[in-house]
Amino acid sequence: MRGQRSIVWIATAVAMISLPAAALAQVQGAGLATGSYSWLAPLCLAACCVGAMGVIFLGIGYSRFAGVITSIAARLRSELPSAMACVCSPRALRALTDAVDARLADGDTMVQRLREELRDLQVRSQLSEREKRHTEAILYSLRDAVLVVDGSDRLLMANEPAARIFGFDAVHARREPLAEVIGRTHPDFVELLRQSRCNRTEATKRELIFTLEDRPHTFEVIISCVQEDGRASGVVAVLHDITKEKEVSQMKNDFVSHVSHELKTPLASITAYSEMLADGEADDEKTRQEFYAVIQSQAQRLNRLIEDILNVSRIESGLIKVRKEQASLTILIEEQMQMIRSYAEEKNIAVTSGHLIVYDQVYVDKDMISQVVINLLSNAVKYTPAGGHVTVGTEVDETARLARVTVTDTGAGIPADEIGRLFEKFYRVSANNKLAKGTGLGLNLVKQIVEKVHGGRVFVTSQVGVGSTFGFELPLATADQVATV
């Protein structure tokens, strides 16, 4: 259409230019016709024809356009007044107003509802955020190590204990691939988590050993695959340190082993000597008396051992009967030194005392404190080689209102890293295991009696190859306690 219009315009323009040129050619006549421009007249005529055609087409086009405009105008003239009258009537206007009002009311309701929904979403978002923080706080407050990875094995969350075990920064390692965070140091663990995710394992329990603070620790590791919409979206690993439980279990086993050995040893003597007597192997009265004495001493040894075991148990459970009275530490210590001397002489060990006289009295269960002293003395003699010395010392601290007793030996000594565990039940110094037998109960009983029953304190200092000093402090008897006697 646009092309047609252009052609028409061009034709009109050619006609406008050609008409004057043709007229001019007629007027000048032969002058031009006989000259070098004789071809100009036919050309102008042809152009005039083309121009005339263009004018005709243009006329047709414009007449059609005028018709369309005329019809629109006629339609407007006939319909507009009735439409305007319809719209502008009061009734229609009211209906329109009501409709607009209703629409506006709907809009308000919708806005209100959206606002409420927005508020609800904000509250939910805050709750969700709070729950997230709460969950994180729970995770971070756990003593167990917790490590969470996503479906692409990237670290989602890890608490401080986990960071300590695996040696990474819990905050900076977030969203990092686990293999990059701990893969170099713990490739097996990374692979275990990956396999759990791939196999969609619900809960796997393993015992794994990791080094923590330069010590191997045993962990019970529970690995669970997190499943969402039937696919594994991550893995949670919880690591519970069971090193202590393992050690206690081992100590219990050792205890049973030690105790059975300790019980069977005197029992072996009693059985053998009884059989010898029954078989008439002791052929003279002196030998028979010797056998009777052995049987008696071994029976007493057995009884002491059983009492030790029971006393530890009774003190721990609070069932032991305590009979406290005013007592002299000096007398108690002297009595026990007399008892240990024969054993010490067998081993060629001298047991001596410094200035033992303590004028102040203590308020104690005499039998129990005697047991404390004999346990310390027998340990000192047991772990001191032949030719050594055991010295007992006492002193009174009037300011602190307590009496202090020390037993110093020239024995094997105790390695520094084992001193802290000496008073634990069943614990035996590994390096000194071969020097003497024992149940690992003696020092624990000392601690229980001194600290739990009498409110005192035990202490120890030691140097390997030089010797050890074990001691205890007891509060001096108060005026009230002395008065009650």
The binding site for other proteins (CB under 8 A) comprises 257, 260-261, 264-265, 267-273, 275-276, 279, 281-282, 287, 294, 298, 434-437
Residue 179: CB minimum distance to other proteins, A:
44
Residue closer to other proteins (CB basis): 349 or 458: 349
Bridge pairing between strands 215-228 and 231-241? antiparallel
Residue 296: CB minimum distance to other proteins, A:
12
How far apart (Å, rounded) are the C-alpha atoms in residues 473 and 360? 13
DSSP sequence for 58-76: HHHHHHHHHHHHHHHHHHH
Residue closer to other proteins (CB basis): 270 or 446: 270
Residue 373: CB minimum distance to other proteins, A:
24
Residue 432: CB minimum distance to other proteins, A:
9
How far apart (Å, rounded) are the C-alpha atoms in residues 266 and 304? 11
How far apart (Å, rounded) are the C-alpha atoms in residues 170 and 162? 8
Residue 298: CB minimum distance to other proteins, A:
7
How far apart (Å, rounded) are the C-alpha atoms in residues 22 and 26? 6
Residue closer to other proteins (CB basis): 174 or 261: 261
Residue closer to other proteins (CB basis): 412 or 449: 412
Residue closer to other proteins (CB basis): 145 or 270: 270
How far apart (Å, rounded) are the C-alpha atoms in residues 165 and 185? 11
Neighbours of 309 (CB within 10 A): 17
- Residues in Cβ contact with 376 at an 8 Å cutoff, skipping those fewer than 6 apart: 407, 446, 470, 471, 472
Residue 461: CB minimum distance to other proteins, A:
24
307-316 LR contacts (CB < 8 Å, sep 24+): 308/439, 308/441, 308/442, 308/445, 309/259, 309/439, 309/441, 311/371, 311/445, 311/448, 311/449, 312/425, 312/441, 312/444, 312/445, 312/448, 315/445, 315/448, 315/449, 315/452, 315/453, 316/448
- Residues in Cβ contact with 316 at an 8 Å cutoff, skipping those fewer than 6 apart: 448
- Identify which of 457, 474, 304, 297 has the alpha carbon closest to the alpha carbon of residue 375: 304
Residue closer to other proteins (CB basis): 294 or 350: 294
Structure tokens at 63: 């007449």
Residue closer to other proteins (CB basis): 186 or 428: 428
Residue closer to other proteins (CB basis): 18 or 378: 378
How far apart (Å, rounded) are the C-alpha atoms in residues 189 and 204? 13
Q: What is the rounded (10 degree) CA torsion for 82, 83, 89, 91?
A: 120
Residue 125 vs residues 14, 122, 130, 194: alpha-carbon distances, Å: 78, 5, 8, 32
Residue 465: CB minimum distance to other proteins, A:
16
Residue closer to other proteins (CB basis): 185 or 260: 260
The answer to whether the beta carbons of residues 156 and 175 sit under 8 Å apart is yes
Residue 153: CB minimum distance to other proteins, A:
45
Residue closer to other proteins (CB basis): 5 or 437: 437
How far apart (Å, rounded) are the C-alpha atoms in residues 1 and 367? 129
- Residues in Cβ contact with 15 at an 8 Å cutoff, skipping those fewer than 6 apart: 47, 48, 50, 51, 52, 54, 55
Residue closer to other proteins (CB basis): 244 or 261: 261
Residue 257: CB minimum distance to other proteins, A:
6
Residue 340: CB minimum distance to other proteins, A:
17
Residue 346: CB minimum distance to other proteins, A:
8
Bridge pairing between strands 350-353 and 389-397? parallel
